[in-house]
Structure 1
Amino acid sequence: MEATANIATPSSSPLSVRVATEMLCADNSMAEEPMSPTGRGMEEMGICIVLVMGLGTPVNLPVFRAGIETELVTRLPRFRCIQVMDESAKDGKPQWVQTAVNVDDHIVVPRLDAAAMASDPDKAVEDYVASLSLLQMDRCRPLWEFHFLDFPTSEAASTVVLRLHHSIGDGTSITTLLVASSRSMGNPARHPAMPPPPKRTGPIYQREPRPPLSSGDYLALFAWVWSYLVLAWHTLVDMALIVATILFLSDPPTLFMRLPDGGESRRRKRFVHRSLSFDDVKLIKTAMNCTINDVLVGVTSAALSQYYFRKSGESNAKRIGLRSCVLVDARPVSTRQTYITKVETGNQLTGLICPFNIILQDDPLEYVHEAKRFMHRKKSSLAVLLTRVVGEFLVKNFGLKMGTFIFRHFFTRTTIIFSNAIGPAEHMMLCGHPVAFMAPSIYGQPQALTVHYHNYGSDIKVVLAVDDAQFQDCHKLLDDFVESIRIIKNAAALKTLTTSIHNDVTQ
């Protein structure tokens, strides 16, 4: 189907959240599956995923359409399902019900202003993707669609945008779907390679196994007992902070917080992105003996600090303590390597509240030091597991309104959403087209600023979803991310060089 440039004008009467059973394809054999509590929360809040992909060639629409039909739709059952109410259930719980799919109904080729495309094609793509954040999805069909923008930009020969409702799946399940449906650019006979798994193979909260205690080793026994006491205490403190956040505890107002409007109206989101060198991130990781996530959290803190003090004009000596809601995949890391044979389905997201500071540090490496300290502390807690368990328990037993209340207040009283997604380690061919870059994000969340990182090949994208009216200079904020990783990398390289010279002298 085609869409004009004003595609994002919302209808005066919102579409129904659920569709009637009569609208299904008349096939009694179609499977039904209850929607998960997390999926119900995503559905109620209207959170959607937007994945912008730059292609290395112009769009061959028949070839891409055939790839969607034969690869994507067949691999992920959610792409063949719509949401309906279970009429037999007293509380009217929604279910996934399979239906017939006409791929043409999910393909959008917009007609954009030719002058705008010619004068600034990057902005034309950016404006169009921003318009999607105000456009309702047709709930009479499976909640996904591809938008094709077949004109060159500074990074790609053409652009395709995948938009889908977050209740279909999370970032991991969508990434596994795309990678499992693609081929390696270097070797079309196989799937793209993923980065090697980290040493940790379980979820973030999994503790390392301890060796058997020998008899009489009382010091080791004490350390073993003490570690679990610390785990229990950290879990108790973190859960108390989460409850306080849901009820009353909020970050101080800054220019990053959403401007007050009751928190209910949907605002237009703008999605902007910039490529960073993954090698720079790994250099900092090695020099600081930390994780990639620690580096990215530190870079984010540095960039937001630079932006804040430049724009606010406040004293550079000021320190502001804020918090981010860090989205965490609850799946064990080992399962991410099995995507080729089994595409992950559903939402298995949870979250943790991580502090970060707005401050101009004399030593750029201190941003990473603080991030490492904060994240290490959060790993010694079961809060990330209990948050998801308790949230699902409340949705199941006290209804969707309670779950939505928790989700919304968990978000609105923190400053930003932060996420780091794992992508393929090499470039891929998707539906017969080379993919030059991938930039995923979300909209529907109450925050004014969301920060996503996504590695693809030798690059890592920082993707910002910003309130369009509140962050009109969002590209300058992207510049701060580029500058922050540059100065942190230079400081890390200097530290590595100094350490190497010192070791040579002392030997």
Structure 2
Amino acid sequence: MNRKTARKPLPPVSIPSPPATDADEPLTPAGRMFLQPELDTVIHCAIGVQNPLDVDAIKEIIRNSLLLKHPRFSSVLVRDEHGRERWRRTEVEIDRHVFAVDAAERRRRRAAAGDSDEGGCAERKVNDYIAGLSAGEPLRSDKPLWEIHLLTEERCAVLRIHHALGDGISLMSMLLADCRKSDNPDAIPTLPAAESGRRRRRRSWVATAAELVMMVVYSLVYCLEFTLRVLCVGDRRTGISGGAGTELWPRKLATAKFSIEDMKTVKSAVANATINDVLFGVIASGLSRYLDHRTPNALKEGQQITGMAMVNLRPQSGLQELSDMMKSNSAAKWGNRFGILVLPVFYHSHHSEEGSNSNPLDFVKRAKKMIDRKKKSLEAHFSYKLCNIVMSTLGPKFACKCNYDIICNTSFTISNVLGPKEEITIAGNPVTFLRVNTSSIPHALTMHMVSYAGRADMQILVAKDVIPDPEFLAKCFEDSLMEMKTAAEKAAAAAAS
């Protein structure tokens, strides 16, 4: 049976021999790559709210929002006579971008597909709807590349934004610019800075030279590894492996929920660790748990499973003010400013004698050691520059092929975007959750975590023919964090006594 679905990306609007104007803006190299049919990537941001959605009021709010003042959200994609893509300003018709989703029609479609809505909670219905969008029709290119779907029954808005418009940092900054703090309606949300596991201290010239040598060595090793991943080196097949064509398969979506305080408890038990170290430790432990269940005794102890992590390359880590990002001379520019790190995790069976006697915090310690080495290298900057060079010299098709190949040669995608620390409102309606994922790529497993008001939700998008039970995978991640928290509390109690 052919499991592929017909998903034909729509080409950009072709304007015959358009005259060159100063108003037209060229696409960035990353933007051109994300528009290629094989990587036609759409970001889906789910925003849950406390009160019912008023569709007409929402449309009026959008008309007066900062979103429409940003040129990327009021420009259509055009292609000139030389085949070069450009942004051209246009009038935005709100009714073509904002849709109220009919609950009865959704139930009818699910019944026709053989799925039942009975007993389904709001979260599952939202996830099922987004999963359908992820493998469904792309955004139309005869209008600006964004849409908002209003799930009135579930009190949730789903923003569909093409990745060519910007990355997660850009879009989170855009979203928060139109939000306000719940306890102070006149104040915009706090924009947290990314944490660092290192403490700055004065170093001798010997230590500085040693660090420089390590940077050179790690950069050479990891940049070579990255290049080999693009060309030929791939993971061994496991129960979560995707591959060429997997982006066209039907999807399922589940949510793993974490407490930031629990993650901080684990972080405090490992010297100089960060939340990202804890997250990657949870991923390593959770995947090992899941593979123990799906394919017991099929993997060798210590087998490598490689992921791709997206790294923000802006000079100021964390989120930026939208007004700063829109300045032409800003160092923290709007757009796609991220590099790729190839991050391995290693399978360690929880059922083996060695695994049962190990400390759950060992997963975090291994993750921290590996990530610290990656941070000392220039791999993320190398991947970003390499993509730009390939795009400029060999064109978007070849650059797309390189990115497609490295996805096929790895096993999963992971990203982590910092959200606001405090509870927020949008148009006066309290926000209950923020969640993000992207449309299908050749990975069978993609994970995107967003923190919000002391919580962190990780969306787990899977090819359901490869991973039929993403809810169980989510529980594996949640159980791994709780096991690590228990170990951290025991270690703290032992140290105190």
- Compute the TM-score of the two structures, normalised by the length of structure 2: 0.88
Query: 2: distance between equivalents of 1:337 and 1:400?
Result: 29
Larger deviation: 302-311 or 113-122? 113-122
Q: 1:104: how far off? A: 1.1
| Residue 163 (structure 1) aligned with residue 160 (structure 2) | yes
How far apart are the structure 1 equivalents of 2:335 and 2:164? 7
Range moving further from structure 2, 362-371 or 185-194: 185-194
Distance 1:274 1:404 in 2: 31
Q: Of residues 429, 436, 448 in structure 2, which corresponds to 1:433?
A: 429
Aligned to 1:231: 215
Match of residue 97, structure 1, among 88, 93, 102 = 88
What is aligned with 1:348? 337
Structure 1 pair 375–160 and aligned structure 2 pair: CA distance change class (3 A): same
Q: For residues 394 and 275 of structure 1, do their structure 2 counterparts lie closer, same or farther at Cα, with a shift above 3 Å needed?
A: same
Give the distance between the partners of 2:247 and 2:288, measured in 1 at CA: 28
| Structure 1 residue 385 corresponds to structure 2 residue 381 | yes
Alignment of 1:251-400 (within 5 A): 251-258=235-242, 262-263=244-245, 266-289=248-271, 290-314=273-297, 318-334=301-317, 336-339=319-322, 342=325, 345-360=334-349, 361=355, 362-400=358-396
AA at the equivalent of 1:103 = I
CA displacement 1:307-329 (0-9 Å, x = unmatched): 10011121797221121111111
Q: Judge conservation of contact 2:181–2:425 (CA < 8 Å) in 1.
A: yes
Counting only pairs closer than 5 Å after superposition, residues 140-289 of structure 1 correspond to structure 2 as 140-152=142-154, 158-199=155-196, 220-258=204-242, 262-263=244-245, 266-289=248-271
Instruction: Structure 1 unaligned segments of length 5 or more: list them.
Output: 1-8, 153-157, 202-206, 212-219, 502-507
| Distance (whole Å) between structure 1 residues aligned to residue 290 and residue 278 of structure 2 | 18
Q: Is the 1:170–1:346 Cα contact (8 Å) retained in structure 2?
A: yes
User: How big is the shift at 1:194?
Assistant: 2.8
- Sort the Cα spacing of 1:321 and 1:16 in 2 relative to 1 into closer, same or farther, 3 A: closer
* Matched position secondary structure for 1:177: helix
Shift of 1:17: 1.5
Give the Cα separation in 2 of the matches to 1:402 and 1:138: 24
Residues 63-82 of structure 1, C-alpha deviation per residue, up to 9 Å, x if partnerless? Answer: 21122221143343211112
Matches within 5 A, 1:392-471: 392-471=388-467
Could you tell me which runs of 5 or more consecutive residues in structure 2 were left unpaired when the two chains were aligned.
109-115, 327-332, 350-354
**Residues in 2 aligned to 1:127 and 1:227: alpha-carbon distance in whole angstroms:** 48
Which residue matches 1:120?
Answer: 120
Give 3-state SS (helix, strand or coil) of 1:167's partner. Answer: helix
TM-score normalised by length of structure 1? 0.86
3-state DSSP of counterpart to 2:166: coil
Matching residue's letter, 1:245: R
Contact 1:420–1:452 under 8 Å retained in 2: yes
Shift of 1:197: 4.8
One-letter identity of the residue aligned with 1:293: N
The alpha-carbon deviation at position 62 of structure 1 amounts to 1.9
Task: Tell me if 1:73 matches 2:75.
Answer: no
Deviations 1:1-60 (A, max 9, x none): xxxxxxxx9878x35321023799xx9988211111111111111011011121111101
SS of the residue aligned with 1:130? helix
Q: 1:337 offset after TM fit, Å?
A: 4.1
Contact conserved, 1:176 with 1:340, CA < 8 A, in 2? no
CA contact (8 A) 2:444 2:462 kept: yes
> Would the aligned equivalents of 2:5 and 2:248 in 1 still touch at CA under 8 Å?
no
Q: Residue 31 of structure 2 aligns with which residue? A: 39
* 1:182 counterpart letter in structure 2: C
SS in 2 for 1:163: strand
* 1:50 corresponds to 2:18: no
User: 1:22–1:178: structure 2 CA closer, same or farther, 3 Å change rule?
Assistant: farther
Query: For 2:277, what is the secondary structure of its paired residue?
Result: helix
User: Which letter does structure 2 place at the counterpart of 1:332?
Assistant: P
Alpha-carbon shift at residue 390 of structure 1 (Å): 1.4
Query: Taking structure 1 as reference, are residues 256 and 82 closer, same or farther at Cα in structure 2, changes over 3 Å only?
Result: same
Post-superposition Cα deviations, 1:398-430, rounded to whole Å, max 9, x if no partner, equal 111221111111211011111111111112112
Which residue of the partner structure matches residue 215 of structure 1?
none
Deviation of the 1:200 alpha carbon: 8.1
| Amino acid in structure 2 at the alignment position of 1:338 | E
| Partner of residue 54, structure 2 | 60
> CA shift at 1:485, angstroms?
0.5
2:35 aligned counterpart, secondary structure: helix
Q: Is the 8 A contact 1:356 1:371 kept in 2?
A: yes
User: In the superposition, relative to structure 1, how do residues 317 and 37 fare at CA in structure 2: closer, same or farther (>3 Å)?
Assistant: closer
* Cα distance between partner residues in 1 of 2:290 and 2:318: 38
| 2:485 aligned residue | 489
Q: Does the C-alpha gap of structure 1 residues 86 and 432 become closer, same or farther in structure 2, counting only changes over 3 Å?
A: farther
Bigger Cα displacement from structure 2, 53-62 vs 338-347: 338-347
**2:18 equivalent to 1:16:** no
Residue by residue over 1:188-247, the C-alpha shift from the partner in whole angstroms, topping out at 9 and shown as x without a partner, is 11111233553589xxxxx97865xxxxxxxx4443323212211111111111111111
* Structure 2 residue matching 1:71: 3-state secondary structure: coil
Cα displacement (A) at 1:268: 2.4
Give the partner amino acid of 1:21: I
Structure 2 partner of 1:155: none
Task: Name the stretch that deviates more: 65-74 or 245-254.
Answer: 65-74
Change (3 A) 1:335 1:284: closer
Contact 1:66–1:431, Cα closer than 8 Å, also in 2:
no
Secondary structure of 1:333's match? coil
Pairwise CA distance, 1:443: 1.5
Distance 1:454 1:15, change over 3 A: closer
The more displaced of 328-337 and 44-53 is 328-337
Q: Offset at 1:119?
A: 3.9
Whether contact under 8 Å (1:178, 1:430) holds in the other structure is no
Whether the aligned pair in 2 keeps the contact of 1:63 and 1:432 (CA below 8 Å) is no
The 1:325/1:243 distance shift into structure 2, 3 A limit, reads same
Q: Distance between the aligned counterparts of 2:489 and 2:318, measured in 1? A: 34
Residue type of the alignment partner of 2:319: R
Q: Kindly tell me the number of residue pairs found equivalent between the two proteins.
A: 467
8 Å CA contact retained: 1:75, 1:177: no
CA contact (8 A) 2:247 2:443 kept: no
Report the Cα distance in structure 2 between the residues aligned to 1:15 and 1:264, rounded to whole angstroms.
16
What is the RMSD of the two structures over their aligned residues, measured on CA atoms? Answer: 2.6
